[in-house]
Structure 1
Amino acid sequence: MGFRITTWNVNGIRNPFSYEPWRGTRTFESMFDILESDIVVLQETKIQRKDLRDDMVLVPGWDCYFSLPKFKKGYSGVVIYTRNATCAPIRAEEGITGVLCPPNSSVAFRDMPEEQQIGGYPTLSQLTSPSFASDLNDLEDPGEAALSKERIDAATLDSEGRCVVLEFPAFVLIGTYCPAYRDESRDSFRMDFLNALDARIRNLVSQGKRVFVTGDINIARAPIDSAHALEGIRKNTTTEQEFVTSPPRRLFNALLADGVVVGNRENDKEQPVLHDICRSFHPNRAGMYTCWDTRLNTRPGNYGSRIDYVLCSLEMREWFSDSNIQEGLMGSDHCPVYAIFKDRVLHNGNVVHIHDIMNPPGIFEGGDRQKEYSSQYILPTSGRLLPEFDVDKRRSIKDMFARKPPSMPPRLPSTPRAVENLTAPISIEQAPPAPGQIDSDGLLNTPDDFSASKSMSRKRPPPPPTVAAKRSKSAAVPNAASTAGQKTLKGFFKPKAIGGSASSHSSARTSSYGAFDSDAGTSSSRICATNDSSTAEGAQNTEFPLDNSAANTWNPLIPSSPNKLDQDTVIDPIVSKEDWSKLFTKKPVPRCDSHEEPCISLTTKKPGMNRGRAFWICPRPLGPNGEKEKGTQWRCPTFIWASDWNGSSQPES
């Protein structure tokens, strides 16, 4: 298999893992192996830097270069993955204009020394925005569509994460995600980006560098590349000339060797510089679409458009052995597009192996590796060098929970003054128990076992005492005991004396709960027996005075007299159950007229009085014509408002 480059708009970097064949392994390494690619360019990653994970960045055997949006969240984004075994770039940049800065630097790419630049940056005169006429048919010469110009904000163009540029000895690779048409508010930004991209490509070619452009251009270059355009031409709602003369499409076709440009070309765009690789292998193939509308489910009927491209400089057109789309691979509203290089190509007048010119000099010779890939070939813009993914600076989570070695107790001073200071009163927690209160197991025996267990649980094990410490403890115990007003630890657990009978009852309860043995079941039964006997005795010895008001008080244990209305009313539980079931049961789903299949429910999002209303339509996809058809295998004209459907006419299934 030759050297392959694949482009894919994934509509979210993790989106493909919800589909086969990616769902089984759910790793980028296996995804790239299935794609059989050496360079993978992904667009619309829709991820922020803080959400990047190890499996996205630290892919075994791969390097990566990200361009992420600076402000918008979950939007746009481009990443290029390169296989270390077959290729390694010599320079890498983010953005199309060169105004962004490398990591840990305040110098823009375009202001760096010339030997560190990729070059071809748009000049100040090229960073201008032409304002196009709304209707080019009213002009005598559509080539004079640029009526006025105003300065383009380069920093704004590169703030949305739409371009990554890598340079290899063979060519400069531009992976891009061009803005799509949404509304008039984005028309200016879209044209500004396309003009900057056009200028960068032409400048690189004029410097003698070969260029490989790939990604989601978001432009269908000809009617054959758009099912919607073919439908409009068939219905006479538009013409082919109107289609190709739209400003973005005209600018894109001016770059291509076989692009259709109506009228005279602009002065700086007279010569085409790019070759459409995929279309050159399938010049007359209809329906070669790469993007479909998932909301309308137009992919099964192949009603889509070709807006993803693999393009190259004109002198590279003989370097490729195959190029195609992979419409069978699911995972996004786009499909992958690839181009495969020949093993040997004509480079600067010499026939060389493609691996020799896809790596720094000396890595490959004649297609055989001479040096192993190492970290010295990683460029500063690589995702592997982001601080949060630097393996050398990481701390394992196991280290946070590992038990630290105990610190050695400090040595006690041996001076007489220090020994005297040690005889000062010790705090309650540090005071050792009396010698007669320690049993053979080392446990504390006190009159109150419960209190002893509490004190033992709170007491920290002291370090092994030294000779000086033993002497100080023997002198400290009587001082601590004779301290006026100082309580012992057991004093906190003794009940306070309230009154005669209350005090004795409290003491009895405390002793009953405190006197438990090691057998939990025995202690529990003993406590329950004590409580039950005391309750029975209290019930026998207590006398309650009889009050007339108590007799009139409602007692829940005495059934009240039945109501006459309750005797006459008979409630059938089966009928009640059916009524409740009807109340909470969903209405049956209607079936379409042509296929008798359950309809699907959608919600209107078009602005107007029906916005937000739900409706039912046929579940089948639209056909190749993009229309609803009656009596065919495609979507039929069935349409039912959800508010009008009562489920009464539901046919039996």
Structure 2
Amino acid sequence: MRLCTWNVNGLESLIRKGYFTTFIQQTNPDIICFQETKISRRKLAQWSVVTKDWNCFLSLCKSNEGYSGVGTFCKLFCPLFKAEEGITGFLPAECLSWNSKRPWFCHLRDNPTWRETSYSVGYHFEVGGDSDKLLELDKEGRCIIVEFPDFVLFNIYVPFNSDEETFEYKYLFLQSLSKRIEKLLQGGKNVVVCGDFNCARTRMDHCDPDGIFQKQPRDIPFELEPCRILLNEICTPKGPMVDVFRHFHPERIDAYTCWNAQTGARKTNFGTRIDYILANKEFVDSCIVDCDIVSDIYGSDHCPVYIDFHCSMSVQGSWIECVEQLPPFCCQHFPDLLGLQQSLKDMVSCSVNVKHSRTEEVQRKDLCFKETTRSKRSRVRNRKMDSQSEKNVTLTSLITYTRAYSENSKNAEKNYCPTVRESEKVHLSKYQKAKEDWRKLFQSRQTVPLCSGHQEPCQLRIVKKKGSNLGRKFYVCARPIGKGEEGRCNFFLWYENRDAR
């Protein structure tokens, strides 16, 4: 079997542009974990993300529509025992609020409390005063937990820390993940964690660990960042989990999964490895046979990572009872999606069919326009012929009339054209001179400088970072950021200083 994880940076765009088709055909996964789906509840029916040949679990952002979100898809033959949204255990299944008559219904909790229900994976941990912040994280759609017969799968999207507040959320999330894993392992469960961790484990996993090449030096050393320390405590040789990719490829360098799309860093492979698949050592040794990065699949600023494994799910047998008792968190229970499920094959071909239908419609309209134009021309031509036939003009009279008209026009041209031509020449010469003067004026003011490293025209950019230079324009090398001759050189010039250099 194959499990794939991928931060898609918008699942709707991935389906619409056809990248989802390439991903399915090239990887052929049995379990898919998506991060940053950015799908809202009202668009689920529109894009028919829920399929009838896959079991689907979606955690959508409830505080900001179209933000964050994770989704776990698994084929129907995979038995499912339980499924849970969020890492805290505070959130009830979202579909339960739509139908309170279900036997497993649990009322929304006014105050967050740890309480296991019949549909939750369980193995929760006690928390103190951070319950409100954890609940806010779970409302953003950052974690789905699914329990299979042989392991418990975490699909996570760790917050990105850009300031002190987001750093606190990120650290709290990783801390909660560590506690939840520890509880499951103590209960005798195998654990697999996959997703976007927004953190590179080691220097080998980062193109510029010290920030020297990007001229953004770190405030503290790379190895001493708190979130990185916590992540390495989870999956170091002394920790409970194994970084599966490094287990199979311990010495591979330049193996990245995320690149800056704004700087075109993927062309020069100037990126980071922040998408991981972690598993406990017993499961890695007994079940996982391979793990790799699929860097040639596009559609996002991340690329997929997969593992191949074998377990009891690989042998078809007594699974019917499990499949019939799907957890209530499964999207097939959502009342607003009943009857709208389609097969994955239909979903993959949806965007292609839409493109073909639009192309055919444009061609049909173009053909109708051409036929209409031809018919109009033919009618005009027939009218002219009818009018000529009504006048009974002979060929001889027509030739005589044409010659007379040409002689008269030549005589008129001799008398009139010289004056007109002279005035036209004067007018054109003045116009051309003014046009040339304006072109030279703006060309001198809009000259794009050449970079010092490659002698190529530079790219004009704007400072978007908060500070004293916010909004200022500057020139940099137009090549994508990266190391070596193919990467961007160190040329920099403020836009205001381009004429004084």
- TM-score, normalised with respect to structure 2: 0.71
CA spacing shift, 1:17–1:635, aligned 2, 3 Å:
farther
The alpha-carbon deviation at position 107 of structure 1 amounts to: 4.0
Is 2:100 aligned against 1:95?
A: no
Name the residue aligned to 1:507: none
For residues 54 and 377 of structure 1, the distance between their equivalents in structure 2, rounded to whole angstroms, comes to: 27
Name the residue aligned to 1:608: 467
For residues 161 and 73 of structure 1, the distance between their equivalents in structure 2, rounded to whole angstroms, comes to: 11
**Structure 2, gaps ≥5 residues long:** 97-104, 342-425
Is 2:256 aligned against 1:295?
A: no
CA spacing shift, 1:575–1:382, aligned 2, 3 Å:
same
Name the residue aligned to 2:122: 119
Is 2:51 aligned against 1:59?
A: yes
The alpha-carbon deviation at position 584 of structure 1 amounts to: 8.5
Is 2:14 aligned against 1:35?
A: no
Residue 283 of structure 1 aligns to a residue whose secondary structure is coil
Name the residue aligned to 1:8: 6
For residues 113 and 608 of structure 1, the distance between their equivalents in structure 2, rounded to whole angstroms, comes to: 50
Name the residue aligned to 1:383: 331
CA spacing shift, 1:282–1:52, aligned 2, 3 Å:
same
- Do the aligned partners of 2:463 and 2:469 also contact (CA within 8 Å) in 1? yes
CA spacing shift, 1:58–1:185, aligned 2, 3 Å:
closer
Is 2:318 aligned against 1:362?
A: yes
Higher relative contact order at CA 8 Å, sep ≥6: structure 1 or structure 2? Answer: 2
Residue 228 of structure 1 aligns to a residue whose secondary structure is coil
Name the residue aligned to 1:312: 279
The alpha-carbon deviation at position 68 of structure 1 amounts to: 1.0
Residue in structure 2 matching 1:246, options 218, 222, 225 = 225
Q: Summarize deviations over 1:305-339 as a string: whole Å, max 9, x none.
A: 22111111221012111101112222222111111
RMSD: 3.6
Q: Which amino acid counterpart does residue 99 of structure 1 have in structure 2?
A: F
The alpha-carbon deviation at position 278 of structure 1 amounts to: 0.8
Q: Summarize deviations over 1:368-409 as a string: whole Å, max 9, x none.
A: xxx6997x354322223323321189xxxxxxxxxxxxxxxx
Residue in structure 1 matching 2:431, options 573, 598, 621 = 573
For residues 305 and 616 of structure 1, the distance between their equivalents in structure 2, rounded to whole angstroms, comes to: 26
For residues 236 and 240 of structure 2, the distance between their equivalents in structure 1, rounded to whole angstroms, comes to: 7
Name the residue aligned to 1:265: none
Q: Summarize deviations over 1:457-505 as a string: whole Å, max 9, x none.
A: xxxxxxxxxxxxxxxxxxxxxxxxxxxxxxxxxxxxxxxxxxxxxxxxx
The alpha-carbon deviation at position 232 of structure 1 amounts to: 6.0
The alpha-carbon deviation at position 222 of structure 1 amounts to: 1.8
For residues 392 and 188 of structure 1, the distance between their equivalents in structure 2, rounded to whole angstroms, comes to: 40
Question: Following superposition of structure 1 onto structure 2, how do residues 121-520 of structure 1 map, counting pairs within 5 Å?
Answer: 121-123=124-126, 127-128=127-128, 153-229=133-209, 242-258=221-237, 272-318=239-285, 319-342=287-310, 345=311, 353-356=312-315, 362-363=318-319, 376-391=324-339
Q: Which amino acid counterpart does residue 334 of structure 1 have in structure 2?
A: H
For residues 373 and 193 of structure 1, the distance between their equivalents in structure 2, rounded to whole angstroms, comes to: 31
- Do the aligned partners of 2:84 and 2:329 also contact (CA within 8 Å) in 1? yes
CA spacing shift, 1:88–1:188, aligned 2, 3 Å:
same
Q: Which has the larger radius of gyration?
A: 1
Residue 153 of structure 2 aligns to a residue whose secondary structure is strand
- Do the aligned partners of 1:224 and 1:230 also contact (CA within 8 Å) in 2? no
Is 2:492 aligned against 1:639?
A: yes
- Do the aligned partners of 1:92 and 1:166 also contact (CA within 8 Å) in 2? yes
For residues 297 and 45 of structure 2, the distance between their equivalents in structure 1, rounded to whole angstroms, comes to: 24
Residue 52 of structure 1 aligns to a residue whose secondary structure is helix
CA spacing shift, 1:574–1:151, aligned 2, 3 Å:
closer
CA spacing shift, 1:382–1:589, aligned 2, 3 Å:
farther
For residues 74 and 582 of structure 1, the distance between their equivalents in structure 2, rounded to whole angstroms, comes to: 49
Q: Which amino acid counterpart does residue 610 of structure 1 have in structure 2?
A: N
Normalized per residue, which structure has more helix?
Answer: 2
Q: Which amino acid counterpart does residue 168 of structure 2 have in structure 1?
A: S
Residue 227 of structure 1 aligns to a residue whose secondary structure is coil
**Structure 1, gaps ≥5 residues long:** 130-149, 260-271, 346-352, 364-370, 394-568
For residues 199 and 373 of structure 1, the distance between their equivalents in structure 2, rounded to whole angstroms, comes to: 28
Name the residue aligned to 1:137: none
Q: Which amino acid counterpart does residue 268 of structure 2 have in structure 1?
A: G
- TM-score, normalised with respect to structure 1: 0.55
For residues 189 and 228 of structure 1, the distance between their equivalents in structure 2, rounded to whole angstroms, comes to: 25
- Do the aligned partners of 2:35 and 2:71 also contact (CA within 8 Å) in 1? yes
CA spacing shift, 1:636–1:203, aligned 2, 3 Å:
same
Percentage identity across paired residues of the two chains? 35
For residues 75 and 169 of structure 1, the distance between their equivalents in structure 2, rounded to whole angstroms, comes to: 32
Q: Summarize deviations over 1:67-116 as a string: whole Å, max 9, x none.
A: 111112332110111122x42422211111111112224347963545x3
- Do the aligned partners of 2:80 and 2:322 also contact (CA within 8 Å) in 1? no
